[in-house]
Structure 1
Amino acid sequence: MELSFTPQEDAFRKDVRDFLKENLPDTVAAAVRSGSEMTKELAEQWHKILFDKGWVAPNWPKKFGGAEWTPVQRHIFEEECAMAYAPRQVPFGLAMLGPVLHKFGNKEQQDYYLPRILSGEDWWCQGYSEPGAGSDLASLKTRAERVGNEYVINGQKTWTTLGQHANKIFCLVRTKTDGKPQEGISFVLVDLDTPGIEMRPIRLIEGGFEVNEVFFTDVRVPAENLVGEENMGWTIAKYLLTHERTNIAGVGLSYRALEDLKTLSKKVKRNGKPLNENPLFAARMAQVEIDLKAMEITNLRMLFQAQEQGAPGPETSILKIKGTVIRQALNDLARRALGPSAAPFPSEDLLGNISIAPEDNAHNAAHYFNNRKLSIFGGSNEIQRNILTKAMLEL
């Protein structure tokens, strides 16, 4: 089933395709296509191109410098960018903190931080998870004590994605210890150059260093960096996470991965025939494609709802669950298609017998292992099912 679009939306899609064809640097697209690590320099290069065009913040209101696109326009843009091998924008400032400041920030915070997010002058990272507080985020222990016109922060955050590139971090901190855990949390903006902050890289199973742990020792932060009111951080955290979970769905990325998988299955042969002619493998690809189309429709429906209500609701957990399951299924099928050559560090004997195209490296076991995280971060899929059960089914 193909989704139908209006003539105006079809014209917008053509504009996006033309823009990508003319402005997406070959070096950036090649890095994405091969599955290489997206360096800070390449990410900033693409950010600047979108900023100059006025497309860097599709979901922001125009009064804050955004494009204020419709949900369908945002969907089209994401899909076309993915198919052209454009990198995803770093979400922490644009897709997470930006909407929080739109809704909860005061005018001074909006006037100072939002233009710097748009221009790329500030690179934000997220300080939510802790060693003892992952999906059970309300149990966080990083403490912020009010001393005069400052907060003094002590504690630790972990799994801080791309923190090594960031100059600022938004944090959930505990400002009250009595009462319900959710009622004593605040949302604070912190400059990573502040004395007392130490960031240590964490090596992942595939060998990369995209996440970090951050230590706070008597870190003094101006009280004016508090977003919203003290102890209302849990409300802000939930609001931010709905945007994160919508973003995690990755419909466009999954369509690109599906097309890559179809191409790969035509090249790889089993028993003298292309893999796409294997009934079992073809059935698995078909099932993923059906699930992906259903999720695309659901994603569009929820984007429209978010536009009317100002924020996505708890049903974004559906997108988080299905989106990550689909992306992992595509990773698994691609790894199966590559067979022994999917090994991230194949032996010389293996390389001598199997030809690997550069773009096929994006499907090797290293990327498969890395993407096992998708169903864990942003709230594990098990927790998301509990959220759906309580918030939507009232069980």
Structure 2
Amino acid sequence: MASLGIEAEQEPLLGDHTPGSREGDIIETEEHYKSRWRSIRILYLTMFLSSVGFSIVIMSIWPYLQKIDETADASFLGWVIASFSLGQMVASPIFGLWSNYRPRKEPLIVSIFISVAANCLYAYVHLPASHNKYYMLVARGLVGFGAASPDEVQDPQGNIDQVAVASTNVLFFVVLFIFALFETIVTPLTMDMYAWTREQAVLYGGIILAALGVEAVIIFMGIKLLSKKIGERAILLGGLIVVWVGFFILLPWGNQFPKIQWQDLRNNSIPNTTFGEIIITLWKSPRDDHNEGPTGCPIEQAWCLYTPMIHVAQFLTSAVLIGIGYPSCNVMSYTLYSKILGPKPQGVYMGWLTASGSAARILGPVFISQVYTSWGPRWAFSLVCGLVVLTITLLGVVYRRLIAFSVRRGRIPE
């Protein structure tokens, strides 16, 4: 019986295509087949370019924000990053309804125009004399508004396990919430812990995220084979456990502390300094001040004085584990959700899934920036570990209900 359940999880998302079945009687013409795959490849390219652009911007937001407005702190960074998803969440139903009543080219062209204009605004937010951080906030919100895709909203379908649907939405929310906060905190965390300059944080952070992208591609290919043996639910559970281990490793331990930005004291006096050290300091200062601000953990963050640093080995190990767990959970959430909904039109329900993901990308950056700035990495990552434990508990409770539509209808025994 258990093997039948796993086989049911591996069935095609659009149902049975064997001869004699209702779905198998549908014959696709060669022209329709080519047109469909042409559209799919265009979507692949669009998603690739969108992801590349998003990754480039996400790593440079914090240094850019610090450069254009000195009053911006790490907590405001969360709002800037969240504004993108907020704009996307607001725009998605608007463009969806628009595409129902008008030709789809209209909302698509308008969304592209908004994206171009918003990115131009983002590129020039350094020009105003004041309040630059708010201009950046508006720019990122407009970029998200323009990034909303005009998906078609279709009629809801009946006979669906609403508990399974709601639970999968919650699981998907947590998965995106976790990764959104991780990619948000990479730059400020590395600048605080390792005294990296802005350029170093952007460069090294970009390399790390690029490596995680390569890792995700490998994970995606391996998951296809693994899911045939153990099923999607088991992979989702395993991915959440790996993510928990990754954030647990990220907790700061030991007695080594990060470098502190003693900017004010350093500017006023240089106590117990030899003549040679004074000459070296004077020689270095003009060049450093010209290119970079002070490095290290800001003294304004009180936790910097008593929280041990997160070693590079800890950070890299955690990144690797999160890079394994996140893509596993992400793709399994989508797969399970599609199978729960069944072969009928899924537009409305997929809209809810997209909304939950957008909400996660709004709240994740805001949560991590506020907690990290006020309480430090120990509290921030401990809370994340607790959230993952609650999510694993939820998955255990609804585990038996996350089955394919055909299994629930009795077409295939579990």
**Structure richer in helix, relative to its length:** 2
Report if TM-score (shorter chain) is over 0.5.
no
Larger radius of gyration: 2
Give TM-score scaled by structure 1 length. 0.29
